[in-house]
Chain A
Amino acid sequence: DTAVSQTPKYLVTQMGNDKSIKCEQNLGHDTMYWYKQDSKKFLKIMFSYNNKELIINETVPNRFSPKSPDKAHLNLHINSLELGDSAVYFCASSRTSSGVNEQFFGPGTRLTVL
């Protein structure tokens, strides 16, 4: 009964490939997020969806495309992977999009681009 789950946990791929990461939350939350954590542990928000609607879209290359088929799922597709995309990607959710809510994080997906 994991609250926020991500698959896969590890992803190793070659430059130029396209890959997807999936995220699911069973908390009944309205809002979901994607974060990128680099090798220096710096965590930066990429996207956020509220009830399937995109509400935060940070300056991210358009090779990254999020998709939310329903409010319990938020997937991240990455085209033409580059070396600099190597990082840990975290999905998170919160009850609403209000900033007073705590965010619940998934276990992360470690992406390595060779």
Chain B
Amino acid sequence: SQQGEEDPQALSIQEGENATMNCSYKTSINNLQWYRQNSGRGLVHLILIRSNEREKHSGRLRVTLDTSKKSSSLLITASRAADTASYFCATDGDAGGTSYGKLTFGQGTILTVHP
């Protein structure tokens, strides 16, 4: 069954604004990853946050993780038209278990950034 639920399903903003996407999951995890998918392309890894981390930054990206609420958020600051894409969260297995790299993806948030 699907592990991640993403919210909102679609987000439309103007260039320069911040975009926040949320992800909730059901079981305990080892880590959570965020990926971007441009239309008609494969997924590109953005950032990984481990279950013992609460916040992580990479450039204009900020990811938070709240394991007590089983949720994560991805913030893109000062968005650009080139950020237009679908964004997916993916969780890795049950905490302490061996997942063999099995990622379970959320349904994704479609982000549109208008110039």
Interface size of B by CB at 8 A reads 27
Q: Do A102 and B33 touch (CB < 8 A)?
A: yes
B107 touches A99 (CB 8 A): no
Q: Contacting B42 at CB < 8 Å: which of A56, A98, A108?
A: A108
> Using Cβ atoms and an 8 Å threshold, which residues of chain B touch A33?
101
Q: Chain A interface: which size bin?
A: 20 to 34
Complex CA distance for A33 and B100, rounded to whole angstroms: 11
Classify the secondary structure of B's interface with A.
strand
Take A99-B92, A105-B42, A105-B43 as given contacts and tell me if A42 and B105 are in contact as well, using a CB distance cutoff of 8 Å: yes
When the two chains form their complex, are residues B88 and A106 in contact, meaning their CB atoms are under 8 A apart? Answer: no
Q: Are B101 and A44 in contact, with the CB atoms below 8 A?
A: no
Could you list which residues of chain B lie within 8 angstroms of chain A, going by C-beta atoms? 2, 30-31, 33, 35, 37, 40-45, 48, 50, 86, 88, 92-93, 99-105, 107-108
Q: Given contacts A31-B101, A55-B100, could you give 11 more A-B pairs where the C-beta distance is less than 8 Å?
A: A31-B100, A41-B108, A44-B105, A48-B101, A50-B100, A56-B102, A98-B101, A99-B31, A102-B33, A106-B42, A108-B40
Q: Which residues of A contact B (CB under 8 A)?
A: 4, 31, 33, 40-45, 48, 50, 55-56, 90, 92, 94, 96-108
Supply 21 A–B pairs (Cβ within 8 Å), ascending by A.
A31-B100, A33-B101, A40-B107, A41-B107, A42-B107, A43-B108, A45-B103, A56-B100, A92-B42, A94-B101, A97-B100, A99-B93, A99-B100, A100-B31, A102-B48, A104-B45, A105-B42, A107-B41, A107-B42, A108-B40, A108-B42
